[in-house]
Chain A
Amino acid sequence: MHRAVLPRYLHPFAWWGYALALVAASSLTTNPLLLGGIILAVSVVTLSSRGDSPWGSHFHLYLWLGLFMVVMRIAFRIVFGGGGGPTVLFTIPEIPLPSWVQGVRLFGPVSLESLLTGLYDGMQLAAIVICIGAANSLANPKKLLASLPGAFYELGTVIVVAVSALPQLGESLLRVLRARKLRRGPRTRTRRDRLRFVETIIIPVLSDALERSLALAASMDVRGFGRSERPPPRNRRWSVVTGIASIVLLAVWSFRFVAKTPEISPFGVPLLSTVLMLGGLGCAVVAIRLAGGTVRRTQYRPIRWRAAESGVLASGVLVAVLVALVAAGDSSAVLAPTVVPLEWPTLTPLLAVALVLAVVPAALAPTPERRKVAA
């Protein structure tokens, strides 16, 4: 039987899960082919599924930002010492710096290897930025905030208020600017008077905004905001305790992680580190759960988690799993092509499959709904 796929928004968690899985995959590799493939896949998915929503229109900015990062890294190599490789492409005359500038080299020979290192690292960063940008463009931010656990409800509301207050601020500013033309400046204009001009704009706008925000607070209050019961004191106490425990555990873990403290690792799994990390994460989840309390709010027209959501999330996770498998396997070198000696980056069949999987959501996700807007 044929089932109609109606236009609708996909659950924001599905898009974020997909994007974060691709971020994880990107962080495992510096292979430019794989990274380029991920960027391409994410762009295809975003452009085909973002709809005409206002938050979707920012995606090109992330692409530019990615490009900027690649260029920055390469430029860095050229300006501050691009040597260090056998294949010198060209040499810019080095500018001698005074001796107290320890270790800094300005210009000089530029090697292919160093440029490639810049390119590879830059592409990795660009891929991460673009993946997050894709999630930002695909997921409906309002629904995302509404889907957050109860503990973040208030902070989420702050953001909702901020986003809807912004256009009002703009209108207020235009009004004040226009009104400003009516009060002539003093005949004798001192510098102080000219500086005052900014004050005459910002003070009315700010006062106006604050007065409005108090009216808003009253309106929220009478419409039941914050009515959900506060968690009982016992929950609150435990929430703080688990929260602190989580931070401490994660702190110890991260220190050990960075400092590379040696430890017993049966079956290749570092025992203490894993326990610390999992304990920290678990405590964090418990703390957030407890802080949410007994919330009795509901969501208007919630987006239900359906097959398309699972599919999108699964394709992202599978990509990450495949890349991780390659990283753990014998051919892990393919993920980090060496620069010295120079070698041509390649893809294994498994990685090619991963790239195909990364594009699948473009076909899976329904087109986003268009709100019927009366003329």
Chain B
Amino acid sequence: MRADTTIEAAAPEIGVKLGARSWVVIVLSSALGFFALAWPLIIPAVGVAPQHATDAPFVFAAMLPLILLLVGAQLSEGGLDARSLAVLGVMSAMNAALRPVLGVGTAGIESVFFLLILGGRAFGPGFGYLLGFTSMFASALLTAGVGPWLPFQMMCAAWVGLAAGLLPKRVGGKTEIAMLCALGVLAAYAYGMMMNLWFWPFISGTDGGALGSLDYAPGAPLTENLVRFGWFTLITSTGGWDTGRAVTTALALALLGRPVLTVLRRASGMGRVVRTVAPASPSSPNPPEPVGRVGARDGSGGTPATMDA
């Protein structure tokens, strides 16, 4: 009878489990998402009708939210407990707060990757992926950033969080921070390029009529469009915005990565502290309240008279 009523619960951990099915969904949706971004370069330029080149950005902008909804439904449904959910919510809020108040659509993110990368690293790829989603969405909601670009931002940020969670686990110490910094720089540039790639056909028209020299040229060979896009992204953002983002992210990770990571990892085991009062940690044999001893000390020899007064 006694044996029946013993309940064993695993020590609390924060994270989102990704099963094989979730992985399939993530990989397929990412592939489609990447196509939705990079179609101007991927599609063999020969076959593209001018009519569809104008339509395509709109069609993809309409399709991606649906894909993201699908992924969101599949991931969270697998097992998002109240604890991970609350931490996800609070970290999304922090990310949204770190983002400049006037984050203008495509290029407003300066420091959002910092906590995203650390969150993914501390709590695993599933958590990182969802954190990318929710951070972008929350910040868009709070800073008037809801627009056709939002699904693409959410997807790219989710990739960053996922990548941070997938980095080799064994690495620790300085190497770990260096690895995260490298990811930060890579993510900053890649993210900027992705968003430019999405924005490119919009901002620089696809109309055959009066073509600027940086515009997407439907029907032109891949190399030509690659060059055009290369200059577009280099001139508009890589030089300024993206580099700024890369530098701030890497700097923040190098300086704050270690202490923040410690705090996050501690949170994973902290679930047992339901309230503010902590139980005795196993490392200290003392009960948490050594107050009795002070009372018993009774002033004898305990008076700190040598205070350099």
Tell me, yes or no, whether A binds B.
Answer: yes
A102 touches B210 (CB 8 A): no
Q: Which of A170, A203, A214, A291 contacts B263 (CB under 8 A)?
A: A203
B134 touches A114 (CB 8 A): no
Given A76-B214, A80-B212, A81-B212, verify A199-B255 contact (CB < 8 Å): yes
A61 near B144: Cβ-Cβ < 8 Å: yes
Is B137 an interface residue, CB under 8 A from the partner? yes
Contacts A80-B213, A103-B227, A239-B74 given: A254-B58 contact, CB under 8 Å?
Answer: no
Within 8 A of A (CB), among B130-151: 130, 133-134, 137-138, 141-144, 146-148
Contact indicator B70/A121 (Cβ below 8 Å): no
Name the B residues within 8 Å of A51 (CB-CB): none
Contact partner of B39 (CB less than 8 A), chosen from A81, A155, A159, A258, is A258
Task: Please encode chain A, from 203 to 230, with 1 for each CB lying within 8 Å of some chain B CB and 0 for all others.
Answer: 1001101111111111011000110001
Within 8 A of B (CB), among A40-94: 55, 58, 61-62, 65, 68-69, 72-73, 76-77, 80-85
The answer for the CA separation of A152 and B69 in the assembled complex, in Å, is 8
Q: Determine the chain B residues whose CB is within 8 A of the CB of A141 once the complex forms.
A: 141
Complex Cα distance, B77 from A157, in Å, reads 13
Q: Which stretch (B174-182, B183-191, B271-279) binds chain A?
A: B271-279
- In the bound complex, residues from chain B placing their C-beta under 8 Å from that of A300 are none
> In the complex, are the beta carbons of A170 and B89 less than 8 A apart?
no
The answer to whether B96 and A157 touch across the interface, beta carbons within 8 angstroms, is: no
Q: Which residues of A contact B143 (CB under 8 A)?
A: 58
Beta-carbon contacts under 8 Å, A279-295 to B: 281, 284, 287-288, 291-293
Q: Is the CB of A260 within 8 A of B28?
A: no
Chain A neighbourhood of B73, CB < 8 A: 151-152, 239, 243, 287-288, 291-292
Q: Which residues of A contact B44 (CB under 8 A)?
A: 259
Residue contact B270 to A82, C-beta cutoff 8 Å: no
Q: How far is the CA of A80 from the CA of B276 in the complex (A)?
A: 60
Q: With a CB–CB cut-off of 8 A, which chain A residues contact B134? A: 155, 158-159, 162
Number of B residues near A (Cβ < 8 Å) is: 90
A375 to chain B, nearest CB (A): 27
Number of interface residues, chain A, beta carbon within 8 A: 103
A240 within 8 A of B: yes
CA distance A84 to B214 in the complex (A): 13
Is A160 interfacial (CB 8 A cutoff)? yes
Q: Is the CB of A257 within 8 A of B147?
A: no
Query: Would you call B74 and A243 a contact (CB within 8 A)?
Result: yes
What's the minimum C-beta distance from B140 to chain A, rounded to whole angstroms? 9
Q: Are B203 and A76 in contact (CB under 8 A)?
A: yes
Asked if residues A213 and B90 are in contact (CB atoms below 8 Å), the reply is yes
Residues A162 and B39 in contact, CB atoms below 8 Å apart: no
A162 touching B92 in the complex, CB below 8 Å, given contacts A258-B39, A340-B210: yes
Residue of B nearest to A73 (CB): B203
CB distance from B281 to the nearest CB of A (A): 16
Nearest chain A CB to B271 CB, angstrom units: 6
- A214 vs B268: C-alpha distance in the bound complex, in angstroms? 10
The 8 Å CB contact of B67, one of A162, A195, A225, A250, is A250
Q: Which residues of A contact B240 (CB under 8 A)?
A: none
By beta carbon, the residue of chain A nearest B25 is: A243
Q: Is the pair B89, A161 in contact by a Cβ cutoff of 8 Å?
A: yes
Q: Is the CB of A118 within 8 A of B205?
A: yes
Residue contact A214 to B138, C-beta cutoff 8 Å: no
Cβ-closest chain B residue relative to A248: B28
Of the candidates A104, A165, A255, which one forms a contact with B35 in the assembled complex, judged by CB atoms under 8 Å apart?
Answer: A255
Is the CB–CB distance between B256 and A158 below 8 Å? no
A356 interfacial contact with B, CB 8 Å: no
Are the C-beta atoms of B81 and A226 separated by less than 8 Å? yes
Q: In the complex, what residue of chain B is closest to A81 when comparing beta carbons?
A: B213
* B48: Cβ under 8 A from any A Cβ: yes
List B residues 24-77 near A (Cβ within 8 Å).
24-25, 28-29, 31-32, 35-36, 39, 43-44, 47-49, 52, 55-56, 58-60, 63, 66-67, 69-70, 72-74, 76-77
Given A121-B207, A158-B89, A240-B24, verify A103-B60 contact (CB < 8 Å).
no
Asked if A202 lies at the interface with its beta carbon under 8 angstroms from chain B, I say: yes
Q: Please, which residues of chain B bring their CB within 8 A of the CB of A206?
A: 94, 260, 263-264
Kindly list chain B residues whose C-beta atoms are within 8 Å of the C-beta of A118. 205
Query: If A166-B93, A291-B73 touch, does A210 touch B147 (CB 8 Å cutoff)?
Result: no
Contact A72 B203 (CB under 8 A): yes
In whole angstroms, how far apart are the Cα atoms of A248 and B105 in the complex? 29
Which segment of A129-137, A313-321, A344-352, A363-371 sits at the interface?
A129-137
Contacts of A152 in B (CB 8 A): 69, 72-73, 76
Query: Given the complex of chains A and B, what is the CA–CA distance between A105 and B263 in angstroms?
Result: 51
The distance from the CB of A17 to the nearest CB of chain B, in whole angstroms, is: 14
Q: In the complex, A304 Cα to B141 Cα: how many Å?
A: 24
Q: What residues of chain A lie closer than 8 Å to B297, measured between beta carbons?
A: none
Least Cβ distance of A71 to chain B in Å?
A: 11
Distance in angstroms from A236 CB to nearest chain B CB is 7
A251 and B263 contact, Cβ closer than 8 Å, known pairs A152-B69, A159-B134, A210-B90? no
Q: Which residue of B lies closest to A114 (CB)?
A: B210
* B210 adjacent to A247 (CB under 8 Å): no
Does A263 count as interface, using CB distance less than 8 angstroms?
A: no
**C-alpha gap A84/B210 in the complex (Å):** 5
| Contact A210-B92, Cβ < 8 Å, known A129-B148, A133-B146 | no
Given contacts A103-B213, A113-B210, A217-B85, 19 further A-B contacts (CB under 8 A): A81-B213, A83-B210, A128-B147, A132-B146, A151-B77, A152-B73, A155-B134, A158-B134, A159-B89, A163-B142, A203-B260, A210-B263, A230-B77, A243-B74, A247-B70, A251-B31, A254-B32, A254-B63, A288-B70
Q: Which residues of A contact B (CB under 8 A)?
A: 27, 55, 58, 61-62, 65, 68-69, 72-73, 76-77, 80-85, 101-105, 111, 113-114, 117-118, 121, 125, 128-129, 132-133, 135-136, 141, 151-152, 154-155, 157-163, 165-166, 169-170, 195, 198-199, 202-203, 206-207, 209-218, 220-221, 225-226, 230-231, 236-237, 239-240, 243-244, 246-248, 250-251, 254-255, 257-261, 281, 284, 287-288, 291-293, 338-340
8 contacts between A and B (CB under 8 A): A117-B209, A155-B130, A161-B92, A166-B93, A202-B256, A247-B32, A284-B66, A291-B77
